[in-house]
Structure 1
C-alpha cells in the first residue's frame, strides 16, 4: 500500500531567515491569501493541520515553522499551526516567526489577531523586535495596507521600540499618496516627535504636501521657513510641492519667486522637477524662467527633451517671441532630432497672429516640413482674417505638392460658408472632388459647412435640401449647423420642417443649442401644440441640451392660454426635478396660473420663493395675488414677503397697503397689520377710512368677510403634492418665521 505524501514538504536546504524580507511579499502573493480566520476552537483537526504538525513535530525550528506558514494561503490554518507551535515546551517563537504570522493576518485585515500577536511579541522581549517592526511597516506600505502599518507603528511606539526615520517616511508616504488621510499623516508625525525620532527632509516634504493638499498653504509655507531650525534643508522636491501648490491657488508670482529662491540657493533640480514645473511656468507665460531651467538641465547632462521644448515653443509663439521659437527649432534640428509637428504648428500660428503670413510660408519652405498639419494651420490663418483669395492660391499650391488632406479643403470651404460665399465654396468642393491627387469624398463636415453658408444668406430652403441629402447618405452633421437651420426655419415659419430637423438631431444623440430649442418651442406653442412642445423639450434635455428660461416661459404661457392649470403644476414639478432655475417672468406666469385656478396655497409658496431669491414681481401679478389671498383669508401666508418688498423697494401702493392691513386684521394678525401701518406712516401715506375704523376697534364684531362663504365652497385643491418638496420646505420655513 502506497503511503500518501504529506501536504507540507520541507526542502532539504532551508534558507535561514535572518530578518523579515518584506520585498518577497507582493500584491500577487497577497491575493492568494484567504479571508480572515474564524474561531474553530471546537472544530476537529483538519487533514492539512495534522499533516503540518507531522512535518514539524519532531523537528520544530523557527525556519521550518516560517516555511510551513508561507506554504499555505489559508490564514486560519497558518494561525492554528502558529499557536500549536507556541504551546510546545521546547520551542521558542522568534520575532521573525511572529513577523510572518502578523503579516499574513494583516493582509486579510484581521486587526484583532494582529494586535494580540504584536502584544505577545512585545511582552516576550524577543531579539530583533525593532527590526521586525521596521520591516512589517515597510511590507504593509508596499502592499497598500497603510491601516495595518499604522497599527504596527502604534504598538511599537507604546512599547517604546523606536523605528527608523525611513520607516516613518514610508508610512507618511503611504497616507500622503492616498489623499484624504491628513489626520493619519499628522498622527504619525506627532508620534515621531514624541518618540524622539528626528525628521529628515523627506519627512517634512510629506508634511508640507499634506498641508498643501488640504488647502493649508500658509501653514505649509510656515513649515518650509522653519526647516532650518529642524536641521533640515529643502531639496528640489520641497520646492516642487510648494510651487505647484502656489500655482494651483492662483499665486503664480509667489511660485516664480520661490523658483528663483531655489535657483539662488543653487539647489539642483531632480529631473522629475523639470517635467512637473516647466508646463506650469509656460501656462503663465514665464518663458524666461523656463529657458533658464532648460539651460540648467542641459548643463547637468540632461538630453534635449522634445516634450519640454514643445511647451517652451508654444509659450514663445503665444507671446509673439517668434524669432526665439524659430531659433529653438534650429537648435533641435542641429542636434540631429526631428522637431515635433505641433512645434511647427505653434510657430506658424504665432506668425499668423501677428499678420506675418509671408514669413510663415518661408518658414515652412525653408524647413522642408513634410507634415500636412502646419500647412493647414497657415491655411486657417488666412481664413481667420478673411483672406480667402490668398487661401485659395495657397491651397492649390499645397495640393500640387501633395500636402493636403480632407481637413485642408474643409478649412477653406467652412471659411467661405461662414462669410456666406456659398458659390465659391461649391467651386472649391468641385476642385477637391476632381483633383487628380485627391481621393477625398464629401463628408458630413462639408455638408455642415454648406448648410451654415446657406443659413448665413437666408437661403433656408436650400439649406434644408442639403440637410435632407445628407440624411439620405446617412452622414453625420454637426449640431451647430443643424441648430442654425432650425432657427432659420422658425424665422420663416417652417415649423414642421424645423421639427423634422429636431427629431433627426435627437435621434442621432446630438445636442441642440438653447436658442434653437427656444425658437422651435415658441413656434410649436404658437401652433397650439403645447403638449408636443413639452415632449420635445424633455427629449432635448434628456439628450443633454440646455433649456433656457424663455423656453420654460413659452410652455407655461401656452398651458395658461389653454386653461391647463393642472398641467402647469405637472410641468413645474418636472423642471424643478431637472434643477432648472426659474426667472421673474416664469414665476409671474406660474402665480397667474395658480391664482386663476384659486390654488392660493401653492401660489403663496411660489411667491415666497420668488421674493427669497430677490426677484421682484410686476405690479399686475402682485395685485392679483394680494386680492385673491385676501378674499380667501390667506394673506398671512405671504405677509413676511410683502413686508420685505415694501421695505426694500417700496413696491406696494397705498391702496394695496390698506388692503393688506385690513385683511391681516381680519385674519387675526394684528401685530403684523400694525407693522404695515407703521411702514405706511413712515412713507407719509395715510390709511383710508375703512382701515382707520378697523384699527381703532369699530370694526364688524364677528369679523366676517362677505366672500368667506364663496371661498369655503371652493374647497381645498389637493394637487399641491405635484409641487417639488423644495417649495414646500420653503413654505414651512416661512411659517416658522
Structure 2
C-alpha cells in the first residue's frame, strides 16, 4: 500500500505496540520538554540528518512521540517519516538497553528475543534483526525454525538476499526442511533487488514434484516482481498457472495485476480484469479502487473515475487521501476545479485529512486551466491557516500561473521572496524554468540568462527542460545557430537531450528551410534510442508536404505507424493538404475540407490505409473535417459508408460533431447523432451533455430535451436518478442571470449527499 495512505491513528498505535518490550524494560515518564523542540525541528529542511534532533528522539518516550505526531496530523508524509525514524530509534535503543542489562548480569528470555525478531521483520530492519540474532547466539540460545524463518524474511525484505541464503543453508544443516514460507521469502528478496532470473529459478524449484510447493503468496510475490519490471504477459501467464497448481488468485493478486495494467495506460483491460475479479468471488478493496481511479484520471477518463469512486463508497469502502487526491487531480486537469473543491469539502467531512498534495493539485488547477490567481493566493492563505507548509510544487504552480497570465514582474517578486526563505528546499529548477520560458517567449534572452544565474547561485543545476526551453526560444526567433550552441552545451554538461529537445531543433531546421539537416537530426535522435512523438513526425511530414515531396511524407507516416505512434488530426490534415493542393499549403487545417472532392476521399483512404493508418481513424478524420466546414450531408454519407464497413466514429469525433451541430442550431441532427451514439454504446461526457441541454433549453426544445434526458439516464445506468434529476431540472429551468448562484446551491446540495460532482 502506498505509504501516504497509512492512517495517523495506526502510527500512534504502532508506537505503543510494535515494540512492547521497550516500555517494559525502559519506560520513563513522558519528557514534555522534548516535544516542542522536536515538533519545531522536524519542519526544517533535511531534519532527518539533524544530530540534535536525533539526540532528542533517542530520549523520547513512545507517548511523547505520539504527541509529536498528533501535532502534525495534517501532514501525513512528515508523520510517516518521523514515525519510521522514531520506531527505528526505539528498536536500536532497546538493543542497547539489552547490552546494558547483560553487563549487569541480567538477560532476557527466548520468547522476548523471538518477538523482537518478528517486530524487526515487520519494520524491514534486516541488519538490525541480524544483530539481534548474534546476541541470541552469544546468550546461548538455540534458534528454532520459526526464528530462522523470521530472520530470512527480514533480510529478504531489506534486499540482503545473499545473507538470507546463508541462513537457508544453516536451516538445511540443522536438519530442517526449506518450507514454502522460507522459499517465498527468497522469491521476495530476489524480486526486491530486481533479480527475476533467480526469483523464477527458486519458484520453479518450489513447483517441482519434490519441492516444497507454492501458495497464493508465492504466486503474488512473483507476479508483482514481473509487473514492476513491465513483463505483464508473463505476469498474466503466471496468474493462469495458479489455477493449474490449485491456487486461487486473491484480491492482492488481482490488485497487483490491475496496477501493472494501469501503469501501461490500459485501463480498459484493467476494468475487464476487475469484472473477472468480482466474478471469481474476490472483492476489490480500497487500494484496488484507488489504483483504478488514478489510472482513469491519468487517461482523462474523469467520468469513469467518478463512477468508480461512487461504486467504491456504495460498497462501504473508505476512500483514503490518495483516492481523493487522484480524483481531484483528474478534475483539475480538465479545468473542473469547482468539482475538485467539492471533493476537498467531502474529505474534511469524512475526516480524511487533506495533505500538501491535495492543496497542490487544487493550486495547479486554479493557476493552469482557470488562471484564477486571486483564488490561488487565497488557497495559499488557507494552507497557512491549517498549518500545512507550502512546498516547492505549491510555489512553482503560483509562479507558473503568474507567467501564464502575463504577470511576469509579480512572478519574479514571488520567486525572490520564496527563494529567500530558509524553510524551502529546492529539488530542481522547476520554479526558475517557468520564468525562463516566459522571458524566452518574449524574446528577452538577457533576462532568461539572468534567471539562470539566480538558479546557479541557489546551487540548482539546469535540467533538460531548462536547456530545451532556451533551444526552442532561439528556434522560434530563427536563430538556429544559438540553439545548436545550447544543444552542444547541454551535452558537455552531461545532460542528455530528450524527445522535446530534438523536436524543438527539428522544427527549427524545418522553419529555416533546412529539411536535410532536420532529417539528419531525426536519424541521430532515433539512433540514440530517443523515440519521436506525434509532434516530431508531424513536423517532418508537413515539411515534406511543403517541399512537394508527398511520397516521402507518406513514408514518414508509414514509419510512424510501424513505431506505434498514433497519427493525430494535424498529421492527417497535412497529408490531405498535400494530396489536394500539392505544394500550396494553407494556414488553416480545415480549409482543405472545403476543396476536397469524392475522388480525393477515395485516394486518401487507399493511400493512408496502404501506409498503415487504421480505416476507422481515416474515416473519423474525414467525417470530422467535413462537419467542421459545414458539409454535413457528405459527412453523413461517409458515416453510412463507415458503418457499412463495420466501424463507427469514436467518442472524440462524436463529441466534436455534436458541438458543431449545436453551434449551427441543427438540433434535430443532434438528436439523431445522440441516438446513434447510444446504439453504439458511446456516452457523451456529462460536461458536453450539459452544454447540449443549455442549447436545447434556449431554443425551447423542451420535449426533445426530456426525451434526451430519459435516454441518457437509461443508457448511463444511473441508479439514483433523484440527485441527477435535480441538477438537470436546474439546467432546464434556471434563470441565466442567477446561473452561478444556483449552480453553487446545487453543488452544495450534492456535496451534502456525499456525492461528488457527476
TM-score bracket, normalised by the shorter chain, equals: 0.3 to 0.5
What is the TM-score of this pair, normalised by structure 2?
Answer: 0.37
Could you tell me the TM-score, scaled by structure 1's length?
A: 0.38
Relative to total residues, which structure has the larger helix share, 1 or 2? Answer: 2
Q: Looking at both structures, which has the greater relative contact order when contacts are Cα pairs under 8 Å and sequence separation is at least 6?
A: 2
